[in-house]
Copies of this chain bind each other. A is one copy, B any other.
Amino acid sequence: MQSRTPAPRATGRPRSAAADAAILAATREALVELGWSKLTLGDVATRAGVAKTTLYRRWAGKNELVVDAVAELFDELRLPDRGTLAADIEGVVLQFAAILARPEAKSGLMAVVAESIRDDALRERIRESIVDRQKRLVLEGRARAQARGELPPETDPLEATRTVDLIFDMVAGAVVHRTLVSAEPADEEWVRNFTQVLLTGLAGTP
């Protein structure tokens, strides 16, 4: 997680591996109970049975800690193979919606995105830990649809990247907006309608 290059320390007492896990779990627990703005690092440390110094030795602050705590939630996303592009999309979007329905994800995600607006390093960390990691799903889905003949093959590789980004923004944006701003569940019916518009457009080509 936070340890990009663990810098092999030769001497001294090694850092407790258990502490990391306990801290991240405590962070998610606190997010559920208190929400972002009332979550304090002192409280997280207490919940994790750890001193504040231990926490600060590993994370720079609340933002970084929550990014790592939330990122783990999204790693369980998988692209199911349900036979058609529409079914695949519906499947993955439902998974995404299920994660976003969890209070620790809701509370944490928007808050760190909000913080990232004035903090480039944080945005980069979010991108690495959360966003880019999930773009693979779009790529995979497209490849599978092309293999099935549901989508034409790529011609322009630049154009291809641009489209992946656009689709990702559209899918993630819609689900997030539905869940967090409109505060309505992204349930099966909504996902079906969304997928149809995404695939066939507003006019609903038959």
**B103, B118, B200: which contacts A205 (Cβ < 8 A)?**
B200
At the interface, yes or no: A48 with Cβ under 8 Å from chain B? no
Which chain A residues numbered 90 to 129 have a C-beta less than 8 Å away from chain B?
103, 106-107, 110-111, 113-118, 123, 126-127
In this complex, how many residues of chain A approach chain B with their Cβ under 8 Å: the count is 53
Q: CB-nearest residue of chain B relative to A86?
A: B202
Q: A117–B114 Cα gap in the complex (Å)?
A: 13
Establish whether residues B151 and A166, one from each chain, have CB atoms under 8 Å apart when the complex forms.
no
Establish whether residues B202 and A115, one from each chain, have CB atoms under 8 Å apart when the complex forms.
no
Q: A113–B85 Cα gap in the complex (Å)?
A: 32
Establish whether residues B123 and A117, one from each chain, have CB atoms under 8 Å apart when the complex forms.
no
At the interface, yes or no: A174 with Cβ under 8 Å from chain B? yes
Q: A159–B89 Cα gap in the complex (Å)?
A: 22
**A107-B118, A173-B173 are known contacts. Are A151 and B182 too (CB-CB below 8 A)?**
no
Query: Which B residues touch A37, using CB under 8 A?
Result: 115, 118
At the interface, yes or no: A165 with Cβ under 8 Å from chain B? yes
Identify whether the interface residues of A are mostly helix, strand, loop, or mixed: helix
Q: CB-nearest residue of chain B relative to A159?
A: B193
At the interface, yes or no: A175 with Cβ under 8 Å from chain B? yes
Query: Which B residues touch A165, using CB under 8 A?
Result: 182, 184
Which chain A residues numbered 148 to 206 have a C-beta less than 8 Å away from chain B?
150-152, 162-163, 165-170, 172-178, 180-184, 190, 193-194, 197-203, 205
Query: Which B residues touch A152, using CB under 8 A?
Result: 203
Establish whether residues B180 and A117, one from each chain, have CB atoms under 8 Å apart when the complex forms.
yes
Query: Which B residues touch A174, using CB under 8 A?
Result: 169-170, 173-174
Establish whether residues B173 and A178, one from each chain, have CB atoms under 8 Å apart when the complex forms.
yes
Query: Measured between C-beta atoms, what is the minimum distance from A174 to chain B in Å?
Result: 4
Query: Which B residues touch A36, using CB under 8 A?
Result: 114-115, 117
Interface residues of A (CB under 8 A from B): 35-37, 85, 103, 106-107, 110-111, 113-118, 123, 126-127, 131, 150-152, 162-163, 165-170, 172-178, 180-184, 190, 193-194, 197-203, 205
